[in-house]
């Protein structure tokens, strides 16, 4: 149950952990994006407040150079009466004397309801009895001490725009200046940043816009704009966000009320451009979060897949391990830590768990049939398996319930797991195989005995048939030949036809006698029993040469001690069968017969120069018994019974039959001299 539930619990734990981790990643990502948003917004606000404050200082400085200079000119007279009594020329001179500010101050003027004096920077002075039209709104003011007019053309240079600014002096006199605020464009105009500065009068008239994209809105009135209303209702300075009065897009605005004058200076930047960099960082952060999330998901999937595959392999391993047809158990050190069901059945216990904790020699008799200690044998084999990686041996084990012994083949394999050295033992019950092997050996022994008996019977039968053919049939044919010869001598010479027939009968009787004698010798050559193997081989070679015309080379020692009769007969039969095969099948023009001793063994070789049988592999040995034919296969069995061996080596250049025999009664040494036939 634990093995089934634990992997599933691990899988679900990984899934929950991955979900929590992904949620944490996205919570952190959103917090990071929000924090970066607030920091970006606050940094932009701080920047705009700084720009607005700087712009306000510059505007106040320009007003001081202009309106302040005009007030200073008015203050040259001790009281308004003196100012009213001064002539136009005196006032013009005083204003010209005070026109010392920057070039943005284009004119200074003093005005009342019935008098207007203006001094320009380039074109001299202007005096009028009635004020110009652009100044009339200021003259109508009763309780306001500062005034800002609208955008007008410069009287000296109509192509330029100036803004009249004035302050009240006394009760009815206004001192002011015409100021070209457009000179600030070169400082604050930044079209690539979508930001700018501007001046707006308290009635909503746009006096100055530094951004090139919105220059066309200068002179318009923005009093209906939500941003302007919020600015006019609020404190003298601050930061606002909302729709731009010049374009339908969100804008961040910092503003300041210019001290002492009814105008506001503003600094703004469009929100879209403000958060361009932040949006790039946001996308990068989201991509990173998405990538990390995907990595977590893929990693979790891979881990779950690996665990599933491991669990599947574990189930397969359990199924194979427990359903194996052989006993198997795992040992840690000398103790069994896991066993399969087959081993429990093999050793007569109800459950594999009953084998856990036991040792291999606990499942065997204390002493093996060969007298070895089971414990010593197991310790030695386990140590060898740990050292070499594997080991195999056969021994006797016993059932734990009945004590019945069984023959077992044990295969040990060394395993490394989690820093531990384990040993896997596979036990095969080979009792049935042992019984079958014993029965097979018994049957083979009987077959070998039967084959040996048949060979002896065959040899005896050949010897008897050869002797009978020689002693009876051969003698009868010899007598028939002699009688026919005598009869031919007794015939009258005139009977030519009868004589010829009688001569044919004599020749036929002689041929039959020769063939009977040859067959008798081939069945069992008397030379083999009387003189020995060397003479029998010479006779065999001479007979084949006469019958077939094949050239035969004999490489035989001049003399050799006699072998046991069955050994000499076996070697003779090998030579006989080999020469018969050469004559019938090889188409060889020559054959060589060798007989020699080597390392205490007698070796017979019959080698031809024919087309060969076939090459059985790179060595050229013929290993298939069927390809040897019945005769040589029988000779191989005959040699095996005598403790020898028969081999055939064949190639396209010929075949060599080699018989090796180590007779127990062999003595003497061979000579190096050979004989040829």
Residue 670 — pLDDT band, cuts 50, 70, 90? very low
The pLDDT tens digits for 485-496 are 777 777 665 556
More confident residue, 566 or 206: 206
C-alpha to C-alpha distance for 182 and 104, rounded to whole angstroms: 8
* pTM, two decimal places: 0.51
Sign, Cα dihedral of 282, 284, 285, 289? positive
Do 253 and 115 sit in the same domain of this protein?
yes
Asked if 411 and 272 sit in the same domain, the reply is no
Burial class (CB in 10 A: 0-12, 13-18, 19+), 70: buried
Same domain, 455 and 510: yes
Q: What is the pLDDT of residues 59-107, one digit of tens each?
A: 999 999 999 999 999 888 877 777 888 888 999 999 999 998 888 999 9
Is the model's pLDDT at 191 over the cut of 90? no
pLDDT over 50 at 297, yes or no: yes
Do residues 339 and 329 make contact, with C-beta atoms less than 8 angstroms apart?
Answer: yes
Which CATH number covers residue 545?
3.30.565.10
- In tens, the pLDDT along 96-149 reads 999 988 889 999 999 988 899 999 988 778 898 889 999 999 988 888 899 999
Q: Is residue 629 part of a domain?
A: yes
Q: How many domains would you assign to the chain?
A: 4
Residue identified by tokens 């959103």 is: 30
- 207 in Cβ contact with 151 (< 8 Å): yes
Q: Which of 589 and 514 is assigned the larger pLDDT?
A: 589
Read off the pLDDT band of 459 (50, 70, 90).
low
The conformation of residue 244, written as its DSSP 8-state character, comes to -
The contacts of residue 280 (CB under 8 Å, 6+ apart) are none
- Provide the 8-state DSSP code for 401: T
Looking at per-residue confidence, does 625 or 404 come out higher? Answer: 404
pLDDT of residue 667: 38
Angle, helices 496-523 vs 431-468, to 10°: value is 150
CATH of the domain at 219: 3.30.450.20
Q: What sign has the CA pseudo-torsion 215, 221, 227, 233?
A: positive
Q: How many CB atoms lie within 10 A of CB 503?
A: 14
pLDDT, position 253 = 93
Residues 519 and 531 both lie in one domain: no
94 alpha carbon, distance to own chain's centre: 96
Per DSSP, the residues of 41-87 read HHHHHHHHHHHHHHHHHHHHHHHHHHHHHHHHHHTTSSSHHHHHHS-
Q: How do strand 206-209 and strand 173-179 relate by DSSP bridges?
A: unpaired
Q: Which residues contact 637 (CB under 8 A, 6 or more apart)?
A: 451, 455
- 336 has a pLDDT exceeding 60: yes
For 71, residues 6+ apart whose C-beta sits below 8 A from its C-beta are: 167, 169, 175
Q: Can you read off the two tokens belonging to residue 384?
A: 């060898």
Residues 376 and 497 grouped into a single domain? no
Domain match, 337 and 442 both: no
Encode 584-607 in three state secondary structure. Answer: HHHCCCEEEEEEEEECCEEEEEEE
Res. 668 pLDDT band, cuts 50 70 90: very low
Percent of the chain with pLDDT over 70: 86
- Segment 350-362 shows an average pLDDT of 86
User: Does residue 44 belong to any structural domain of this protein?
Assistant: yes
Which band of pLDDT confidence, cut at 50, 70 and 90, is reported for residue 398? Answer: confident
pLDDT digits (tens, 9 = 90+) for 232-272: 888 989 999 998 888 778 899 999 999 889 999 999 898 88
623: confidence class by pLDDT, cuts 50, 70, 90: low
For residue 608, what are the contacts with CB-CB under 8 A and spacing of at least 6?
582, 586, 588, 590, 591, 592, 654, 655, 656
372 and 486 inside one domain: no
Q: What is the pLDDT of residue 615?
A: 45
Distance CA 544, CA 573 (A): 14
Using a 10 angstrom Cβ sphere, with 0-12 exposed, 13-18 middle and 19 or more buried, the burial of residue 380 is middle
Residue 259 sits in the same domain as residue 215: yes
Q: Cβ neighbours of residue 534 under 8 Å, at least 6 residues apart?
A: 556, 557, 559, 560, 595
Residue 616 in this model has a pLDDT that exceeds 50: no
Query: How high does pLDDT run on average in the chain?
Result: 82
Task: Answer yes or no: is 547 within a domain.
Answer: yes
Task: State the Cα angle at 215 between 210 and 220, rounded to 5°.
Answer: 110
Q: What is the model's pLDDT at position 106?
A: 93
Range of the domain at 562: 527-677
Tokens linked to 581: 């095969």
Q: If you average pLDDT over residues 311-333, what whole number do you get?
A: 80
pLDDT in tens, 325-335: 788 888 888 88
pLDDT of residue 24 exceeding 50: yes
Same-domain pairing of 643 and 517: no
Residue 25 belongs to a domain: no
Task: Lowest mean pLDDT of 35-39, 356-360, 666-670, name the range.
Answer: 666-670
Our CA dihedral for 451, 456, 459, 465, rounded to 10 degrees, sits at: -110
Whether residues 125 and 210 share a domain: the answer is yes
Q: How confident is the model at residue 674 (pLDDT cuts 50, 70, 90)?
A: very low
């Amino acid at each position: 149950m634990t093995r089934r539930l634990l992997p599933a619990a691990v899988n679900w734990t990984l899934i929950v952990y991955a979900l929590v981790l992904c949620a944490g990643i996205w919570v952190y990502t959103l917090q990071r994006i929000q924090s970066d948003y607030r920091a970006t917004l606050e940094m932009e606000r701080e920047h705009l407040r700084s720009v607005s404050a700087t712009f306000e200082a510059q505007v106040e400085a320009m007003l001081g150079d202009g309106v302040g200079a005009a007030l200073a000119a008015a203050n040259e007279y001790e009281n308004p009466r003196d100012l009213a009594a001064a002539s136009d020329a005196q006032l013009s001179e005083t204003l010209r004397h005070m026109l010392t500010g920057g070039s943005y101050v284009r004119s200074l003027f003093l005005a009342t309801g019935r008098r207007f004096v203006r001094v320009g920077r380039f074109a001299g002075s202007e005096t009028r009895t009635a004020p110009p039209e652009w100044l009339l709104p200021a003259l109508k003011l009763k309780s306001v001490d500062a005034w800002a007019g609208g955008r007008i053309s410069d009287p000296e240079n109509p192509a330029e725009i100036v803004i009249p600014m004035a302050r009240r002096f006394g009760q009815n006199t206004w001192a002011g200046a015409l100021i070209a605020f457009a000179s600030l464009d070169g400082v604050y105009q930044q079209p690539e940043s979508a930001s700018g500065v501007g001046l707006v009068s308290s009635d909503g008239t746009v006096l100055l816009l530094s951004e090139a994209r919105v220059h066309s809105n200068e002179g318009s009135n923005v009093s209906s704009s939500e941003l302007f209303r919020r600015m006019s209702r609020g404190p003298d300075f601050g930061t606002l966000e909302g729709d731009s009065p010049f374009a339908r897009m969100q804008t961040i605005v910092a503003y300041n009320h210019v001290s002492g004058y009814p105008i506001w200076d503003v600094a703004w930047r469009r929100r879209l451009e403000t958060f361009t960099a932040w949006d790039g960082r946001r996308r990068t952060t989201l991509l990173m979060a998405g990538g990390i999330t995907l990595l977590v998901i893929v990693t979790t999937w891979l881990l779950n897949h690996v665990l599933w595959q491991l669990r599947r392999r574990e189930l397969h391993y359990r199924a194979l391990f427990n359903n194996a047809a052989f006993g198997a158990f795992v040992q840690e050190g000398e103790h069994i830590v896991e066993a399969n069901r087959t081993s429990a059945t093999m050793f007569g216990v109800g459950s594999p768990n009953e084998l856990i904790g036991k040792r291999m020699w606990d499942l065997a008799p204390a002493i093996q049939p060969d007298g070895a200690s089971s414990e010593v044998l197991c310790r030695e084999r386990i140590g060898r398996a740990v050292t070499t990686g594997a080991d195999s041996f056969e021994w006797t084990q016993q059932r734990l319930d009945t004590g019945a012994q069984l023959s077992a083949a044990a295969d040990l394999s060394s395993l490394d797991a989690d820093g531990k050295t384990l040993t896997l033992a596979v036990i095969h019950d080979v009792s049935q195989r042992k019984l079958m092997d014993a029965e097979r050996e018994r049957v083979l022994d009987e077959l070998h005995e039967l084959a040996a008996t048949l060979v002896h019977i065959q040899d005896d039968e050949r010897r008897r048939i050869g002797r009978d053919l020689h002693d009876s049939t051969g003698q009868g044919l010899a007598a028939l030949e002699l009688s026919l010869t005598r009869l031919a001598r007794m015939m009258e010479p005139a009977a030519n036809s009868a004589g010829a027939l009688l001569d044919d009968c004599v020749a036929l009787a002689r041929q039959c006698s020769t063939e009977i004698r040859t067959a008798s010798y081939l069945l069992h050559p008397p030379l083999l029993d009387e003189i020995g193997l060397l003479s029998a081989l010479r006779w065999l070679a001479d007979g084949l040469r006469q019958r077939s015309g094949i050239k035969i080379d004999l490489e035989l020692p001049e003399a050799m001690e006699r072998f046991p009769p069955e050994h000499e007969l076996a070697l003779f039969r090998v030579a006989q069968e080999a020469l018969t095969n050469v004559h019938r099948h090889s188409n060889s023009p020559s054959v060589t017969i060798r007989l020699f001793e080597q390392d205490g063994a007698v070796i017979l070789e019959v080698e031809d120069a024919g087309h060969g049988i076939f090459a059985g592999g790179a060595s050229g040995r013929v290993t298939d018994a069927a390809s040897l034919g019945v005769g040589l296969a029988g000779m191989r069995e005959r040699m095996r019974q005598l403790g020898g061996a028969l081999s055939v080596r064949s190639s396209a250049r010929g075949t060599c039959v080699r018989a090796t025999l180590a007779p127990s009664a062999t003595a003497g040494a061979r000579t190096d001299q050979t004989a040829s036939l």
